[in-house]
Amino acid sequence: MTPLIFIVIVTAVLCALVYWVLNTIKHDNKIKSAVHNFNYESASELAINSTDKFYLAENSIKIQRSEGEYALVFWNLSRSRWESICAEQSISPDMKRIVLRVNEAGESFNYSDMWVRTIAGQCRFHLRPETAYYVILGIKYRKRLIPIFTSNTIMRQS
């Protein structure tokens, strides 16, 4: 009977120790972006510019206010520049790696990555009051962002 009690106590202590170790392991403290703050739409029909003649030069990015509470982002990356940047970084030119990072600087700094998967395009997102925004077009590779272009900074007009 005594060995049985000893085995039960040792098993309970080991289970408690394993439980304690698993609960105290530190997880990656990644910066979580507040995705609910960005409210973006990337459908091209929703982001049509109100001006009739809009030209965006090749290898550039631009952000501008639209309809008061919204911003439009336009980017145009040439295929040759895209391939040369990928060659410099020793990565394959896969369109699935193209990311648009929306940076929000207000009371705190937040960002959100949108997988755009195109070298030229546009998207629209909601602006919050008293917050500055700028965007970075880049390549997301191995959990890091390789920036290609950085836009100008805008704020919502109150």
**Interval 137-154: pLDDT, tens:** 999 988 889 999 999 999
Please report whether residue 140 resides in a domain.
Answer: yes
Q: Looking at the predicted structure, is the pLDDT value of residue 27 above 90?
A: no
**pLDDT given for residue 30 in this prediction:** 47
Compute, in degrees rounded to 10, the torsion defined by CA atoms 36, 40, 41, 42. Answer: -120
pLDDT exceeds cutoff 50 at 29: no
- Cα–Cα–Cα angle for 32, 36, 40, rounded to 5 degrees: 110
* 53 pLDDT above the threshold of 60: no
User: Is 28 within the bounds of a domain?
Assistant: no
Owning domain of residue 118? 35-155
- The alpha carbon dihedral of 11, 17, 18, 20 has a sign of positive
* Residue 131: pLDDT band with limits 50, 70, 90: confident
Residue that has been written with the tokens 């925004």 in this structure:
133
Return the higher-pLDDT residue of 144 and 52: 144
For 80-93, the pLDDT digits (tens) are 999 999 999 999 88
Which of 19-33, 52-66, 135-149 is predicted least confidently? 19-33
| Spatial distance between the Cα atoms of 111 and 99, rounded to a whole number of angstroms | 12
Residue 134 lies in a domain: yes
Residue 123 lies in a domain: yes
Cα 93 to Cα 118: distance, rounded to the nearest angstrom:
12
Q: Which helix (H) or strand (E) holds 79?
A: helix 79-88
Q: Is residue 8 part of a domain?
A: no
Percent of the chain with pLDDT over 90: 29
Report field, pTM of the whole predicted structure over 0.85: no
Is residue 132 situated within a structural domain? Answer: yes
User: Is 149 exposed, middle or buried, given 0-12, 13-18 or 19+ CB atoms closer than 10 A?
Assistant: middle
Per-residue confidence at 52, pLDDT binned at 50, 70, 90?
very low
Domain membership flag for residue 6: no
Per the structure, the count of domains in the chain is 1
CATH code of the domain containing 134: 2.60.40.10
Query: Is position 26 within any domain?
Result: no
